[in-house]
Structure 1
Amino acid sequence: MLRGATFVRHAMPEVDATRPPGEWILSSDGINAAAALQLEALAASAVSSPERKAVQTVALALRLPESAVATAVSFREVDRVESVHDGFRDARRAWIAGRLDERHEGWETPDAAARRFHEGLLAQDARHVVVGTHGMVLTAWLASQGLVADAVAFWEALRFPDVVEIGIPLLRVRAVLTDADGRFVLIKRARPGQEPYWTTPGGGVMLDDASADDALRRELHEELGAEVELGEIVLERQLDSIHSEVFYAARLTSIDPTLADGPEFDDPSRGAYEVEVVTLDELRTLDLRPSELKELLLAQR
């Protein structure tokens, strides 16, 4: 089962206007930079985008012949119709930010790119995999998993080449949060055309979070404007082969909704988020998800 992934953004290629970018090979500086990564100690399985510059980068970093690097189209760069012009980077920034317009006609959407990248990762059966890939599609996937807070800033900071390490399972953290009266602080989710349901507050652990505890405190501040005291883990569950979720007991010490500034509040497509405080009796009547958490809470009271 996959326990870790090392993503390698390819090194600098030799630009060749007579060939499509997928056939570009590394420049001499790119070859040296890829070899300097020295990832051979990982003893990992190797897979890459089919683009030659990505295959070369992984092979050099792992001290392998190119023939030893498997290829998977899931890890290719974003499909797009693009010419290099004065504003091409602005168009890419807008794509990464999810602000698609007429410049992106014929482009793969960020969601579609992230989805097929994710499917490619799910297909890996090694314990650790090194993935040769590209800046835009990698950033889209990391953002879709909640692993980066500012996707544009992350993408702009990526180097040629660059390395991003993640541990697996990817962790989501949530709080079974109670106030001074023992009531549960929940998030009511309402989406057009669907019945409402309730969840506990929390979210994904980002690459720059120091720990799962820090990630949960950050999420509670973003979603609720809350400060809390964290307690023990009350539930752990595996979501799929690369995601798990942990629920912590937590006690509310202060809350100021005016401080809530999570990204979900800026995206109407996600539906409505409402903070509700409910008693145990009220909890019995709600569609609290996941259902096993509701069963656990009712059994303990």
Structure 2
Amino acid sequence: MQHRVRAVLVTPNNTTLLIKRLRPGVDPYWVIVGGKIEPTDTSPEEALLREVREEIAGEAEIVSLLHTIETDDERQDFYLAAIEKWSFEDRTGPEFSEEGRGEYLLEEIPLTAEAIGAINLLPQEIAAVLRAAVERGGTPRRRVAADRSPRPYARLSLGVKSASRCVKYRGTFRTQREKGDPGSAPTLRGPATGAITPDARPS
């Protein structure tokens, strides 16, 4: 079974970064940054961070597993992640240099149900998950600390229902830096979950 990982990247502007695909004879569509786990990757999270570096020359902060889509021959894990800096011009992914693959355009899409619904985001299941999450939990928001700290904190609020995993939670993503511990991993706290760390998995 092929295993892919993708990052729902939340920017400080309450937008998400998506790649618009233009191919001859095919209606334009958008995909979430990510790709296949390689044999050299030690974990899905490592693969995800590598893909973000290759595809948009960015460094992401993984917050939590958001949703999983699984078929007979493929599994896709979608992670919620925060990002501040990226450079699509400096991308290094091998797919960008292959002939016949069409165009790749990086776009910032507002994290609203209307904006997500206005584009052809694939797969359709993750588009529905994001729209429902925004409608229930409000727009995710990322705040950069004003003290010029090299370790800005993030606060991401999102309500999510994962149909394939039968998981529903609502809460606030926040880093431990807000509680005085800058070195700890971000957690999700909500009434239905307690706390979920980035390497936790819904049962």
With the shorter chain as reference, the TM-score category is 0.5 to 0.7
User: Residues 91-112 of structure 1: CA distance to partner in whole angstroms, max 9, x if unpaired?
Assistant: xxxxxxxxxxxxxxxxxxxxxx
Provide structure 2 residue ranges, at least 5 long, that are not aligned to the other structure: 135-203
- Match of residue 23 from structure 2: 191
Distance in 2 of aligned mates of 1:176 and 1:294: 11
Selected match of 1:291 from 124, 145, 154: 124
Identity of aligned residues (%): 34
Distance in 2 of aligned mates of 1:256 and 1:189: 18
Selected match of 2:78 from 219, 222, 247: 247
| Structure of higher CA gyration radius | 1
- Match of residue 162 from structure 1: none
Contact preservation (8 Å) 1:173, 1:203? yes
How do residues 104-253 of structure 1 correspond to structure 2 at under 5 angstroms? 169-241=1-73, 243-253=74-84
**1:240, CA displacement in angstroms?**
2.4
Three-state SS of the structure 1 residue aligned to 2:3 is: strand
Question: Where in structure 1 do 4 or more consecutive aligned residues deviate above 4 Å?
Answer: none
Normalised to the residue count of structure 1, the TM-score between the two structures is 0.43
User: Residues 207-256 of structure 1: CA distance to partner in whole angstroms, max 9, x if unpaired?
Assistant: 01111111111111111011110011111111323x21100001113212
Provide structure 1 residue ranges, at least 5 long, that are not aligned to the other structure: 1-168
Structure with more relative contact order (C-alpha pairs < 8 Å, separation 6 or more): 2
Distance in 1 of aligned mates of 2:87 and 2:23: 25
Contact preservation (8 Å) 1:173, 1:212? yes
**1:283, CA displacement in angstroms?**
1.7
Aligned residues: 132
- Counterpart residue identity of residue 65, structure 2: I
Q: 2:93 matched to 1:262? A: yes
User: Residues 133-168 of structure 1: CA distance to partner in whole angstroms, max 9, x if unpaired?
Assistant: xxxxxxxxxxxxxxxxxxxxxxxxxxxxxxxxxxxx
Q: Which has the higher helix share?
A: 1
- Counterpart residue identity of residue 211, structure 1: S
Q: Which has the higher strand share?
A: 2
- Counterpart residue identity of residue 40, structure 2: D
Contact preservation (8 Å) 1:229, 1:253? no
User: Residues 162-215 of structure 1: CA distance to partner in whole angstroms, max 9, x if unpaired?
Assistant: xxxxxxx33100011110121010000110011100010000000011111111
Distance in 2 of aligned mates of 1:206 and 1:278: 28
User: Residues 270-297 of structure 1: CA distance to partner in whole angstroms, max 9, x if unpaired?
Assistant: 1111100011232221000111111111
Three-state SS of the structure 2 residue aligned to 1:275 is: strand
- Match of residue 108 from structure 2: 277
Distance in 1 of aligned mates of 2:84 and 2:60: 5
Distance in 2 of aligned mates of 1:199 and 1:278: 12
Three-state SS of the structure 1 residue aligned to 2:59 is: strand
- CA RMSD of superposed structures (Å): 1.2
Three-state SS of the structure 2 residue aligned to 1:295 is: helix
Normalised to the residue count of structure 2, the TM-score between the two structures is 0.62
